[in-house]
Structure 1
Amino acid sequence: MTQISNIQDIFTQRYDAFFLDVRAAQANLQNPDKPILSGVDLEQSLTSRSLLRVEKQAIREKDLNQKHNINYLNENLAKINIKVEERLTEELKDIENVYRKVVGIEDTIPQLLDLLNVKAATTSRIETLAMELPWFYQDLLKLVNQPKYRRTDSNGKIIHVDSLRAALNRFGIENLNPVVLSLAFRRWLPQITDPYPQIKNRIWDEALATSIVSRKLASLHKIDENFAFSLGMLSLLGTIVVVRLYFRLFDVIQREALIEAQNEQQHELHAALSRLVPAGDFLNQLLDKFALPMSAELISKMDMKRVFIANAMNEVVSNETEISPLALLLKQARGYSRYRLLKQYGLVNMQEAKDYVRTLRLPNGALTLLKTTDIRTLNLQFIANTPNN
């Protein structure tokens, strides 16, 4: 059996690598003793291998030059990242800007989530509010007309949904909380994260998995399923913020440094700066430091009146010993979801899985419930009903 702190460290390291690049994480697992290379180091190592055909003396000279170049590049990368963190820290203080501009949360979203948690909510009231979101109509129709949600008439002909009211009725009020939140969250995801293009997919995978697992655990904790689902998904808001800001600020600060080097005719420095790319390991450090606290601030900023999740998010951030059932649920859901994602890509073995899941202290019956749960789809349950107008 692996020690608790050790297995948690292993999973954290494994998940950090997975978050950046699945194939690289799998390669690292196959070669555990091989040092993980940064983008700068990787480029240099490829160059080094190509030099194996030249004379030994030339190789030694090249190696010395390469080591100097790598150190020089990494020194300048570290300087860029220090400035990035300084500006990121400042930008995070302006919650209004982060909320409106960095993520782009519209006031209608928390209002809709509140309405969907009112027992007297009707399709007509939801439709009126949803119409304030210019993107919602098209996104909802695209979702409802997917093969898994289609209906057919008595002749087997597909019934195409072409109105907002019909789409809302098709899903039913009981399903709209996860539908609305999922559609909104996908719009908030970062799009440009080169040289790590998979990041937006990893954020979505974790958000969906965490919200689904949270909803499944809700019955065991005697918690409202909508609260659990909402907290699970919105707990990744801070990740979106940090990722968006890191890549944007890296680009800005690198450009400033290039202009300064050019103006001062520092040719070697300019060449080095031109080759720098965002550092995944440093991004993971920023996420560990800022993501959860920012999620808590943004959830509080949403100021929902009927979705009572802000206090639980703050409890998770403060890492209190005595926490509410909802906060405990989120911690368990985050841990289990990450385990399932690593398992899905072959990044954890059976013994590691057993040791890690044991540290989550899941409630009785949870593993039986969760092991058959699909964490990749909303798993909406449709019931026969008449439109609620």
Structure 2
Amino acid sequence: MVEYATMHNDLGKKSVIQNVLAHAGVEDRFENLLVSLERVQAMAGKTKPGEVSFEDSEQAEARRQLLSIEKIAIENQSLQELNDASLKDVVTHDFHQYLFAAIRKKATNLRKVCRYNLGISSDIKLLLEILYVDSTTLHQVEQQMSIHPWLSYEIMKVVNLPQFRRKDAKGNPIQVESIRTALSYLGVENLKQVVPYMILKRSLPQTTDPFPEIKEHLFNFGVSTAVSASLIAPLKQLDGDSAYMLGALHGVGRCILIKLYFRLFELTRSEFMAQAAKKKRVDVHTVLSKITPSANYLIALQLEFADAVASDLLTHLTPKKLQLGESMHSLYSPPSTPLGRVLEWAREYAKVRMLLQRRCISRKMVKIHLLSIGFPADAIDILNHAQVGAPPFRPASRNN
């Protein structure tokens, strides 16, 4: 999948400029891939016959203009530098400035976010803590599971899938009818990965029009990061299950922001249109009526706040002794913790693998990118031969 070992001899020959450009290229392409495969294909030059290149298109020019405005919205929150912008750009900037502020405010109340945005209870922290107690029994796990009916339902559904269903001595499939039986099939150790996987799955945004691919790409990214982290961690004498949880739940930060963006978009627009009508600003009202969710602003929102939201969420939901919130925080506020470093490697590997699978990046760019982040060479072969997008379930044996 990703050739790497032969690049060590070339490390000293790689210029800083090459590393920076490769890193920026990977990040930009990946962020656009999360929103839409078509966007990243255009960036990679995969135009169809008769189409103009992305760089020459009006879409590219609009994107460059919007990115400039987004930077102002995030860093300066000022309209002074927008004097030369069009009315549409000014209205879009003002609209998203207000929308971002509303999103940030709601994202700070994690108890409400978990219950009303993610559909989970903050009490799930108790379940995660129990799973990491050495003397935990399945009975204790079952008691905690009763607080989360959605989780019991998902686990029951999985163990009854044909590929995972156990069979009796005669080869007949066994229908699991109780959560106690399902938990005994999985075992406490497997649940350390199964539960975070299910939390990520439940947290995914459902309605993201006009970008329907977001859910699929987010899930792929979260699972790939989790599996990659769980495989890299033991190489650094760290716990693979803790790394899996960190990798899976770090992706929920993006889910929170994306859900809030689409949920608050129409509410904010209605409020702005009402204000424009009150002020008799027909021109502004017309612009607002045509505004649609912006891929560029959505990307800017995630780049600016996703890691911080994920850090707060991990502190709020995961066992304190694992210090996953601290590891997440170290990604954007050095120095990095050992597990934070593993997460960095895992998610960068997940990014390049997703891009490579869709032929939206060159192998040369992958090599330079991984070298630029100090990716461990001994992890490459392991990850290349792993199904990093696979769920944490294993087919049951044919007999009891």
TM-score relative to the length of structure 2: 0.82
Q: Which residue of 2 aligns with 1:22?
A: 37
Note if 1:307 corresponds to 2:322.
yes
Note if 1:338 corresponds to 2:351.
yes
2:383 partner letter: L
Q: Which residue of 2 aligns with 1:357?
A: 370
Q: Quick one: distance in 1 between partners of 2:124 and 2:155?
A: 14
Q: Which residue of 2 aligns with 1:205?
A: 220
Deviation for aligned residue 1:114 = 1.3
Q: Quick one: distance in 1 between partners of 2:212 and 2:61?
A: 14
Deviation for aligned residue 1:95 = 4.0
Deviation for aligned residue 1:8 = 0.5
2:242 partner letter: F
RMSD (CA atoms): 2.5
Q: Which residue of 2 aligns with 1:272?
A: 287
Q: Quick one: distance in 1 between partners of 2:134 and 2:233?
A: 19
Pick one of 153, 158, 161 that aligns with 1:146. Answer: 161
Q: 1:97 to 1:39 in 2, by over 3 A?
A: farther
Q: Quick one: distance in 1 between partners of 2:113 and 2:368?
A: 38
Pick one of 372, 376, 380 that aligns with 1:367. Answer: 380
1:185 partner letter: L
Q: Which runs of 5+ in 2 are unaligned?
A: 1-13, 47-52, 64-84
* Paired residues of 2:163 and 2:395 also in contact (CA < 8 A): no
Deviation for aligned residue 1:272 = 2.2
Q: 1:34 to 1:160 in 2, by over 3 A?
A: farther
* Paired residues of 1:40 and 1:74 also in contact (CA < 8 A): no
Q: Which residue of 1 aligns with 2:253?
A: 238
Q: Quick one: distance in 1 between partners of 2:221 and 2:125?
A: 21
Deviation for aligned residue 1:294 = 1.1
Q: Which residue of 2 aligns with 1:179?
A: 194
- Structure 2 counterparts to residues 32-43 of structure 1, below 5 A: 32-35=54-57, 37=59
Q: Quick one: distance in 2 between partners of 1:161 and 1:100?
A: 29
Deviation for aligned residue 1:7 = 0.5
Q: Quick one: distance in 1 between partners of 2:227 and 2:318?
A: 23
CA distances 1:157-211 after superposition (whole Å, capped 9, x unpaired):
2222121011111112221111111112211222222211221222211111111
Q: Which residue of 2 aligns with 1:51?
A: none
Secondary structure at the residue paired with 1:192? Answer: coil
Q: Quick one: distance in 2 between partners of 1:22 and 1:109?
A: 34
2:154 partner letter: D
Q: Quick one: distance in 1 between partners of 2:272 and 2:60?
A: 21
Deviation for aligned residue 1:259 = 2.1
Q: Quick one: distance in 1 between partners of 2:122 and 2:103?
A: 24
Q: Quick one: distance in 2 between partners of 1:248 and 1:213?
A: 31
Secondary structure at the residue paired with 1:278? Answer: coil
Q: Which residue of 2 aligns with 1:329?
A: 342
Q: 1:97 to 1:137 in 2, by over 3 A?
A: closer
Identity percentage of aligned residues: 25
2:288 partner letter: L
2:246 partner letter: L
* Paired residues of 2:155 and 2:182 also in contact (CA < 8 A): yes
- Structure 2 counterparts to residues 283-322 of structure 1, below 5 A: 283-302=298-317, 304-320=319-335
Q: 1:380 to 1:248 in 2, by over 3 A?
A: closer
1:34 partner letter: D
Deviation for aligned residue 1:131 = 1.0
Q: Which residue of 2 aligns with 1:67?
A: none
Secondary structure at the residue paired with 1:151? Answer: coil
Secondary structure at the residue paired with 2:243? Answer: helix
Q: Which residue of 2 aligns with 1:106?
A: 121
* Paired residues of 1:220 and 1:363 also in contact (CA < 8 A): no
Q: Quick one: distance in 2 between partners of 1:204 and 1:266?
A: 42
Q: Quick one: distance in 2 between partners of 1:36 and 1:161?
A: 56
Note if 1:163 corresponds to 2:185.
no
Deviation for aligned residue 1:17 = 1.1
Q: Which residue of 2 aligns with 1:226?
A: 241
Q: Which residue of 1 aligns with 2:389?
A: 376
Q: 1:353 to 1:32 in 2, by over 3 A?
A: farther
TM-score relative to the length of structure 1: 0.84
Q: Quick one: distance in 1 between partners of 2:111 and 2:159?
A: 33
In terms of Rg, which structure is larger? Answer: 1
Deviation for aligned residue 1:363 = 2.5
Which moves more between the two structures, 265-274 or 362-371?
265-274
Pick one of 137, 146, 152 that aligns with 1:122. Answer: 137
Deviation for aligned residue 1:379 = 4.6
Secondary structure at the residue paired with 1:293? Answer: helix
